[in-house]
Amino acid sequence: MTTATIPIWTLRDRDFHWGDRTYVMGVLNVTPDSFSDGGQFDTLPGAIAQATSLLKAGVDILDIGGQSTRPGAKQISVEEEQQRVVPVIEAIRASTDAQLSQMVISVDTTRAAVAREAVRAGADLVNDISGGTFDAAMFATVADLGVPIILMHIRGTPETMQQQTDYADLINEIYDFLARQIETAQAAGLDHSQIAIDPGIGFAKSYPQNLEILRQVSVFRQLHCPILIGPSRKSFIGWLLQQPDPQQRVWGTAAACCAAIAGGADIIRVHDGDAMVQVAKVADAIWRQRLPEYCVNPT
């Protein structure tokens, strides 16, 4: 399994060699209403403590979001989203902890203005759950900023998306959407090498459709972009396990992440940093034949 033809991303002081191993993106929701951890990290001290915890767990990217995208979530103002996100990024960059201050940071936003202010504050890339469809200025803004972008598939908005799960051909429709958005981004000045993709598990997808995406992750490798998969704690896992509490879905998340990695996912986006870093290491040893550096004398 390899995606070695995809150019390396260099963010901060580290290189992302796509296909070499699975990279782990840790979620930091600075929101009061996210589905899994809303209200837990929406103060500056709480956010910094969680960022530090994810750093110690070994995540590769910290994904900071100020707008909940759970099903039915209401949209807040641009100003409020900026007020939630930017101070956290600034505090991380100003940290006296050298490792924390140099964490690779993604801003989880669909708004060009928020992306611009976040990158100015120190974010390294943009994670847009709308695939660039919610804000017509997003692609030109990201091209101007000179940072990578992750494009996710969605239908409708978080308020309406779960009423839009009727597909004639699920995988091909997701694929075609992502291909179109890659072309649109390139037309706006973004280089193909700076684009990653996400088929959008949990966004305008039924529970069985999420499982089908996990079975067919490898199809999206034909787009020649790094692939992000974000199954963490999502409701399809709760459906399968009859577990209403998202924070009790760690083992189900682990299984979904293993499936994603087996299919060629380059990034897994997760809440449970320590557990999923371990999952990625073992999955990489199995499917990428990549042992951790300290495993020098296997027995």
Residue 209 lies in a domain: yes
- For position 110, which CATH number holds? 3.20.20.20
Cα separations (Å) of 233 from 138, 248, 249, 269, 286?
28, 8, 5, 10, 24
Is the residue at 268 inside a domain?
A: yes
Assess if residue 295 is contained within a domain. no
Name the domain count of the chain.
Answer: 1
For residue 106, the cross-strand partners are: 63, 125
pLDDT of residue 39: 56
Q: Find how far residue 162's CA is from the centre of its chain.
A: 20
The answer to whether residue 3 is domain-embedded is no
Answer yes or no: is 253 within a domain: yes
Domain that holds residue 86: 20-288
**What pLDDT shows up at residue 36?**
54
pLDDT of residue 35 exceeding 50, the answer is: no
Task: Please list, residue by residue across 226-260, b when 16 or more beta carbons sit within 10 angstroms of its beta carbon and e when fewer do.
Answer: bbbbbbbbbbbbbbeeebeebeebbebbbebbbbb
**Closest among 225, 215, 217 to 131, alpha carbons compared:** 225
What pLDDT band is residue 74 in, cutting at 50, 70 and 90?
Answer: confident
- Is 21 annotated in the active site? no
Determine, yes or no, domain membership for 156. Answer: yes
Q: Report if residue 298 sits inside a domain.
A: no
- CA quadruple 135, 140, 141, 145: dihedral sign: positive
Q: Which listed residue (84, 205, 234, 249) is catalytic?
A: 234
* Mean pLDDT of the chain, nearest integer: 93
Per mean pLDDT, which range of 40-49, 124-133, 158-167 is the poorest? 40-49
Q: Which candidate in 155, 233, 269, 288 is catalytic?
A: 269
56 belongs to the catalytic site: no
Residue 5 inside a domain? The answer is no
pLDDT tens for each residue of 221-276: 999 999 999 999 999 999 999 999 999 999 999 999 999 999 999 999 999 999 99
C-alpha distances in Å from residue 121, one per residue of 86, 87, 96: 6, 8, 16
